Structure 1
């Protein structure tokens, strides 16, 4: 365990791999198949179990439970994994489960995320980089959450739903269908209500790309033909990489339909 600092009341089971500079606070429990990267900090009363890897400099707050078995009645004890990237902040009472055989066997979380108190990441979810999940929001199994997504408090994302890069989900929203990149979703039964313009501007996206995205959204909302047909026409016409991202997302594989502009 090298230079790790471990409180005397913590339980570190034989087989756990503890990186250099880790800090494990009072009453934490680290299971035998856990790997903590350098600089991971478990504040207190944190449970990390299962076949779980946590990346460098991740900070986990009290009463989080990371790497427990899936909440899936089909799960029969098979060995599956949870892989968490670097520099994440995982707040109080967050739960993240390992995967299932039927979903690929791995739940994966990227780098630099913020998971606020009480939120849940279910089995086989694939969560990108710089994602923010606000208090008490929940991802169901098999969700795909791309980079730089924000999911508002008390919201839920249905199983198998994809949320495209840079999208934002408002608070107290149920999302049952795929959300295009940079989309803005709100209302109790989530509706695609526009673009995440604030997020685009904060990330320094060029005005020309924002203008192209606005025009693309209008075409998706009011153009002729089915939603996928409108997206394909956009792909034939656009020169914006941001619009192309939406087109590729819409035309990609999915187990759900899409939230479409009203």
Structure 2
């Protein structure tokens, strides 16, 4: 049996479509081969659209920020404004692609993972160009996952949802809910750095090295939206004196990729403390 290694830090690989949970086949079995084919087609079209949008070898080059907090606040404000281009500009996809250490990444994983389009030779202009597009596509997908987790919280972001189920929403209902204008009130209420044992710091240092960055950190973010608070996480990278985003996740704090979940201030503090306590 072929084993899949754990995802490296940074933009994670896109997982294959998950199985349908048991007891959710009342509307009949979906043609899963067709679903898989359509998924591949969608990914290819997504890459082509990103190529048209950014073009050239500098695909995915974003703007840098003076601090991690500034990058996170700008990203949040861009989402609230419904400005996808600005939101993507807070990410460092191009820099990561050109700094990608292909040999070091494979040695770190101790395997080659064909489903991860991010691990490409950064010292080759051709592959670095492809890597920038792939990483920006991954950034766009994480932004989508974050906004979907707010706008359609009952819709799984990891498994196919048959709309033929009795309790499933209709396509029109989903479209009505997916109104980016609803994000206008989104804000970052608290941004706190995750700090833990020395081995965590060493892991961050290694993750930064694998994409040619000088430093990597992860932050928990307490978002406020429509009168409720939500827990999320953001990973950031420093290139020289500028910070940018490379992931909406914090595996060490059990924050899923691109997902925000309802949480109180106490929940936020507990998640922060759970990482700090790892050093005890």
Higher relative contact order (CA 8 A, sep 6+): 2
Give the greater-gyration-radius structure (CA): 1
Q: What band does the TM-score fall into relative to the shorter chain?
A: under 0.3
Name the structure where helix makes up a greater proportion of residues.
Answer: 2
Which structure's residues are more often strand, by fraction? 1
Q: Report the TM-score when normalising by structure 2.
A: 0.22
